[in-house]
Structure 1
Amino acid sequence: MPWATPLASQLPPIAAATTPATANRSSLPPLSAAAAKHCHPLPPQKLASLIENSKSISQLLRIHASLIRHGLDDHPILTFKLQRSYSSLNRLDYSVAVFNSTGNPDVFSYAAIIHAHSVKNLHQQALDFYVQMLTNYVDPNSFTFSAVLKSCPLQLGKTIHSQTLKFGIDSDTYVRTALVDVYARGGDLASARNLFDTMPERSLVSWTAMITCYAKHGDVDEARLLFDGMEERDVVCWSVMINGYTQHGRPNEALALFRKMLGLKVKPSEATIVAVLSACGQLGALESGRWVHSYIVNNAIRFNVHVGTALVNMYSKCGSLEDASLVFDAIKDKDVVAWNSMIVGYAIHGFTEDALRLFTTMCGRGVHPTDITFIGILSACAHAGLVSEGWRFFHLMKGEYGIEPKIEHYGCMVNLLGRAGHLDEAYELIQNMKIDPDPVLWGTLLGACRLHNNTGLGERICELLVSRNLAHSGTYILLSNMYAAAGNWDGAVRVRTMMKDSGVQKEPGCSSIEMNNKVHEFLAGDMKHPKTKEIYTMLEEMNRWLESHGYTPQTDTVLHDIGESEKKKSLEVHSEKLAIAFGLITTQPGATIKIVKNLRVCSDCHNVTKLISKITGRKIVVRDRNRFHHFVNGSCSCGDYW
């Protein structure tokens, strides 16, 4: 068989521990003599039915004892069914023992044992059995191919694809579906789509594999076209499409599709719920998130560590740390992901002491921290300016836990050092990194240069990014703002011109607020909202409140070469102020107002929000690009350090 050798040569040597032949009948537990004695012989057809309907290992072992006692342990059909039943009852070791006790396993036995290992993600063992089958000159069939392809990476999948062509079964629905999945998982969209389009009959699994492929690689619109073209949909394909929107920053569409799913009476799975909660977190849509939480409770969706962790993330990102903490406490058997979620939640809200305390508790309970844990801890230190503590954790990460710092950890340290004014130390850290710094890292340091008015270092960083073609809108805006803050309007105009010539567009500031399960978005100076008249009337009222409390607009934050009156007008209509005004006219007195902004909140809006919280007696929670701000009675949780 000339095609068997090339395939086998692509695989690593079969280790003794994973060699199929190492398991035999002796791997099974000793069968009780009493059990065997009291088993009565039954016709093979009846025994086969008993094997298939066994609900426990003890029951299956009694039947197995009867087979041995009556000399039926080499009956091909019965041993095949025993092998499959042991696998389905999570005793793969017994299944392998039965397989290896079979004198000459046929193609069906091989297909079953390969499938059993593939579904358990024991891919190397599945491939080992496939090579053994070829070596023993057993020709594969459609079941074998569909089973082994589940374990194949792209290149090996291509080799087996050629074998399906050799045997003339590449058009079999199950085989073609498995091939689509191989190419889709491997990122070869063109080959996956070609196979899909030429399928004689498309199964639900093949549709889902193709949708998953597009969604995973960011082509969500093409995934939706396929999804809408399906005549039949199950919960898996709904979940894939919802998650595709969520993963690629389109949470509104994820929630809209979820509502449509519920309207069609499709019950969501755990995967659906996790994706929807992530979408709520992205939007900061607390009301929607709470509704999903109540849906989980009222529809008997299992509250496990995965759902619990998704709820913790959602509540943290929606500004309700109290709810996040309550859910976290309710999670049984917390894994490190759950601990990380709560630590990161405390960090983004600026509750540094709580984050550090939770880290100590986690380690005390024997939970080994991961790289994500340290991202949370270093972020917490950055929000509080704890430079020495940050360095201690940065060194602890590798020295104590053997975790190599990633680009995100260096980013946290640069952010910590930069905010604290240690710009040279941050620059030196980047220069001495073992990995290449990315534009985000340089942008973090550039932002610190803007914060501390270090134009010289800022210019060097910008020149470096432009020369390496790594500059983006934030790069130009930060440098332009540095020039403007220093009164160098010519420099600011020059940078803006460079930005325009490069085709780079500034990301507009946008603030959103959820009201009655609907998210309302505002841009600076927005006049498109249905309640525009009421909003601007409230803005005028807010200005009178502020003036009576001695507020003076920080016009120096307006980095444009315009007059003072124009600067004041510009400040008055910042997007977060419009969102606050909308919140004040649409909620009950005393109710908390929660706002999400896509950019860093400016110092003028920060001061205004502090005053509004004092004047109105309201708690105002603002999530900006960097962190959460909790404004209560004229103070902010960030301590004016952000």
Structure 2
Amino acid sequence: MRAFARRVPQLLHLAVPPSSPSPPHPLLTTFAGLCQRGAFSDAIAAMASLDALGLSADSISYSNLIKLCVRHRAVEQGRLVHLHLTSGCRAPELFLCNSLMGMYVRFGLIDEARQVFDAMPVRNVVSWTTMISALTNLKLDEEALRLLNSMQREGIAPNMYTFSSVLRACPTSASLRSIHGCILKHGLESDAFVRSSLIDVYSKFGDLDYGYRIFNETATPDLVVWNSLIGCFAQGGDGYMAINLFTQMKKAGFFADQSTLTSVLRACTGMVLLEMGRQVHVHVLKYNRDLILSNALLDMYCKCGDLEEAHEVFCRMPEKDVISWSTMISGLAQHGRSSDALTLFESMKVFGPKPNHITILGVLFACSHAGLLEDGWLYFRSMRQLWDIEPGREHYGCMVDLLGRAGKLDEAVKFIADMNFEPDIVIWRTLLGACRVHKNANLAAYAANQVLRLEPEDEGSHILLSNIYADSHQWTEAEQVRMSMRDRRVKKEPGRSWIELGKIIHVFVAGDMSHPQADGIAKELSKLLRRTTTLGYIPDTDFVLHDVGEEQKEESLRYHSEKLAIAFGVMNSSGVKPIRIMKNLRICGDCHAFAKLVAKSERVTIIIRDHVRFHHFKDGVCSCGDYW
């Protein structure tokens, strides 16, 4: 009986059915469906009806609607959603507040995002990280760092995304090391994204060695970390290290992705390593629709001297943007094919995207290096009218170069005087270079003084002025310039040429016969000099800048770095591939004449890239038309 009495409440509970919850309002169901299906306009209209009835939908529907606002870039509708969620003293859930804040960040409305953030009664790591990341992206670095400190004071532990964002806000190496200490404290030093960000930022401060040390501390580095380090060395100018790391990465069993290959191609471009670039091209084939990677490949071939392959890449690209067109136009111009560059530009105007300031630079370069004075003026004057491009210093510099090369030195000086800004050191150097070509010592002295006023230790201007005086046989003035260089301890950068052979770079310095094959090079050079002399080569001693005897001048010319590299290239040439030589300075006129005749006598193609452009020597002719 007592057992039965104990069961009565349970039986009564089973006998009386619980009251069923009232069904949701039909409008709420409709609103949820519209948000889920992505019917944006109808969902906004339904939300207005909810407002009128004082109804609130579920959080998932509102979250979907906020995503639709972001997708449609609907700023005003996003504000309406925000107003709806906070009307009537309602307080949105935490994740909805985070969604609203993220929406405003994506709209670029940082003040409104901050208002949402400041009004939140409770904030989690997502809230703080969203705000810190937004501030970092806007370069509001000090505020981002202050927010990180506030976050930790409130007891919220940063996560890997917080640190990945805030590391970019470090203004000094000291602040970087402080954040690094926080990362260690929170045990996130092994996270791939954090480690990658650390490597990037240490590299930004020029501490590539410490970035490499962080990389080596990784027990099993993943692709993100590999890419970060390779990219840092490529951007930092250490192309050899970037390529070495790429080789190590492949041996470790990692497959290169678009990011890896773009960085390695940048390294090949910077070091002018054509053969290595060709090997990387094989890996690029599976990503042939990646525009950024295709542009990097195109740039590599243009700057490493294989214009034919560059043109093939350009023609095969399924998509071309303004970078693609501009790179190809500049490449053609730098290789002496100015008319082809201008023809391609005309095609771009019809079939391609709108030209930008980089495109016009390539066009003006093409005009300058082909002596197309009228065309250059036409393109320069049409920049504002046709393409709404404001000419920059670089465009003015190209025009000074164009006028100077054409011998219009007085016009160049007037053009500089009429500029609406103060000429910079590059423009004065350009005029100074033109003065040397046209042997105008008086104007050269004026231009050189302008350069030295802006940069008293400028090595190139001292040397150019000395060369101009030497060209004019004004040895006293030339010696005064050299004495000034000695007093200021300004040293002339020696001429260097290098050539890639069997994945090895062979470097030659003017007058230096320390190469392992020096004896063979000297013999080959003597043979080439004999053969070219029969074809009319006469050493141009105007390019020797010291007041010494004629025999000594010829001996000095004999061991210019270009000639040493040409002799080495001919020694190791199969006669099929071009001999490709890179040079740190402008090629001298004597070596230019020598290279033309070697190409003819040995029936080879010689390609020399100096610090301005490419020279293709074939059958006794240069692609520059002797106008460089």
Q: Distance in 1 between matches of 2:326 and 2:169?
A: 28
CA contact (8 A) 1:383 1:416 kept: yes
Aligned residue pair count? 582
- The whole-number CA distance in structure 1 between the counterparts of 2:489 and 2:260 is 39
1:551 CA displacement:
1.9
The residue number in structure 1 matching 2:615 is 629
Residue 592 of structure 1: CA displacement?
1.3
Give the counterpart of 2:237 among 249, 253, 263.
249
Give a deviation string over 1:125-147, Cα, whole Å, max 9, x none: 3652331242x443332211111
Residue of structure 2 aligned with 1:262, choices 247, 250, 271 = 250
- SS of 2:511 mapped into structure 1: coil
Report the Cα offset of residue 571 of structure 1. Answer: 1.3
What is the rounded CA distance, in whole Å, between the counterparts of 1:361 and 1:586 in structure 2? 41
| 2:275 matches 1:287 | yes
Structure 2 counterpart SS, 1:367: coil
Partner of 1:237: 225
CA shift for structure 1 position 240? 3.3
Aligned to 2:196: 208
The Cα of 1:150 is off from its aligned counterpart by: 1.5
Distance 1:123 1:499, change over 3 A: farther
Match in the other structure for 1:151: 134
Give the whole-Å Cα distance in 1 for the aligned partners of 2:271 and 2:151.
Answer: 52
1:178 maps to which of 158, 162, 168: 162
SS at match of 1:596: strand
Q: 1:253 to 1:366 in 2, by over 3 A?
A: closer
Q: 1:138 aligns with which of 121, 124, 141?
A: 121
Partner of 1:106: 93
**Alignment partners' CA distance in 2, 1:364 and 1:583:** 43
Change (3 A) 1:111 1:404: same
Q: Percent identity?
A: 36
Which moves more between the two structures, 612-621 or 569-578? Answer: 569-578
Corresponding residue for residue 603 of structure 1: 589
Question: Are residues 151 and 571 of structure 1, via their aligned partners in 2, closer, same or farther at CA, if it must alter by over 3 Å?
Answer: same
1:253-279: CA deviation from partner (whole Å, max 9, x where unpaired): 322222222222222232222222122
TM-score (norm 2): 0.84
Shift of 1:520: 1.8
> For 2:250, what is the secondary structure of its paired residue?
helix
Q: What amino acid does structure 1 have at the position aligned with 2:588? A: C
Of 284-293 and 210-219, more deviation after overlay is shown by 210-219
Matches within 5 A, 1:166-565: 166-169=150-153, 174=158, 178=162, 181-182=165-166, 184-185=168-169, 187-199=171-183, 200=185, 201=187, 202=189, 203-297=191-285, 300-365=286-351, 367-565=353-551
Amino acid at match of 2:455: N
Between the aligned partners of 2:279 and 2:348, the Cα distance in structure 1 is 30
Q: How does 1:10-21 map to 2 (within 5 A)?
A: none
Distance 1:334 1:489 in 2: 54
Q: Distance in 2 between matches of 1:585 and 1:545?
A: 15
Q: Is the 8 A contact 1:479 1:492 kept in 2?
A: yes
Contact 1:145 1:175 in 2 (8 A): no
Q: Is the Cα contact below 8 Å between 2:329 and 2:362 reproduced in 1?
A: yes
SS of alignment partner, residue 499 of structure 2 = strand
Q: Secondary structure at the match of 1:526?
A: coil
8 Å CA contact retained: 2:261, 2:293: yes
Q: Deviations over 1:279-303 (max 9, x none)?
A: 2222322211111111222xx3353
Q: Which residue is equivalent to 2:113?
A: 129
Conservation of the 8 A alpha-carbon contact between 2:307 and 2:332: yes
Aligned mates of 2:302, 2:411 — CA distance in 1: 32
Measure the CA separation in 2 of the matches of 1:415 and 1:170: 61
1:415 and 1:219, CA in 2 relative to 1: closer, same or farther beyond 3 A? farther
CA contact (8 A) 2:168 2:201 kept: yes
SS for the counterpart of 1:334 is coil
CA drift at 1:593: 0.8
- AA matched with 2:237: G
Take 1:167 and 1:32, find their aligned partners in 2: how far apart are those partners? 39
Distance 1:167 1:174 in 2: 8
Residues in 2 aligned to 1:490 and 1:191: alpha-carbon distance in whole angstroms: 55
- Using the TM superposition, give the Cα deviation of residue 155 of structure 1 relative to its aligned residue in structure 2, in angstroms: 6.8
Contact 2:145–2:169 (CA under 8 A) maintained in structure 1 = no
- TM-aligned CA distance change 1:171 to 1:351, over 3 Å: farther
Structure 2: unaligned runs, 5 residues or longer: 1-26, 50-54
How far is 1:568 from its partner? 1.5
Q: Structure 1 stretches of 5 or more lacking a match?
A: 1-29, 40-50
For residues 177-216 of structure 1, give each alpha carbon's deviation from its aligned partner in whole angstroms, at most 9, with x where no partner exists: 6367446356444323322234313343333223222433
Aligned position for 2:13: none
Q: Which structure's CA Rg is the greater one?
A: 2
Amino acid at match of 1:111: N
CA offsets per residue over residues 544-567 of structure 1, 9 Å max, x none?
A: 212332321111211122222222
Instruction: Give the Å deviation of 1:328.
Output: 0.6
Amino acid at match of 2:180: F
Deviation at 1:236?
Answer: 3.4
Helix, strand or coil at the partner of 1:519: strand
Residue pair 1:277, 1:314 contacting (<8 A) in 2 also: yes
**CA 1:389/1:562 → structure 2, altered by over 3 Å: closer, same or farther?**
same
Change in CA separation of 1:374 and 1:167 when aligned onto 2, cut-off 3 Å: closer
Q: Structure 2: how far apart are the matches of 1:75 and 1:454? A: 82
Which residue type is aligned with residue 614 of structure 1? K
Q: Structure 1: which amino acid aligns with 2:276?
A: S
Distance 2:214 2:485 in 1: 38
Q: CA offsets, 1:427-469, max 9 Å, x none?
A: 2222222233221221111111111111111111222232333
User: Aligned partner of 1:109: which letter?
Assistant: L
Select 1:582's aligned residue among 549, 565, 568: 568
Residue 80 (structure 1) shift: 7.5
Query: RMSD between aligned alpha carbons?
Result: 3.4
Superposed CA deviations along residues 89-136 of structure 1, whole A, max 9, x for unmatched, are: x67769958777655323322234444665xxx2623652331242x4
Helix, strand or coil at the partner of 1:639:
coil
CA drift at 1:401: 1.6
151-160 vs 497-506, which moves further: 151-160
CA contact (8 A) 1:180 1:206 kept: yes
1:280 counterpart letter in structure 2 = C
Map 1:89-104 to 2 at 5 A: 102=85, 104=91
Q: Which residue number in structure 1 is paired with residue 149 of structure 2? A: 165
Change (3 A) 1:547 1:168: closer
Q: TM-score, normalised by structure 1?
A: 0.82
* Superposed displacement of residue 173, structure 1: 5.7
Equivalent-residue separation in structure 2 for 1:430 and 1:175 (angstroms): 55
Measured in 1, the distance between the counterparts of 2:268 and 2:471 equals 37
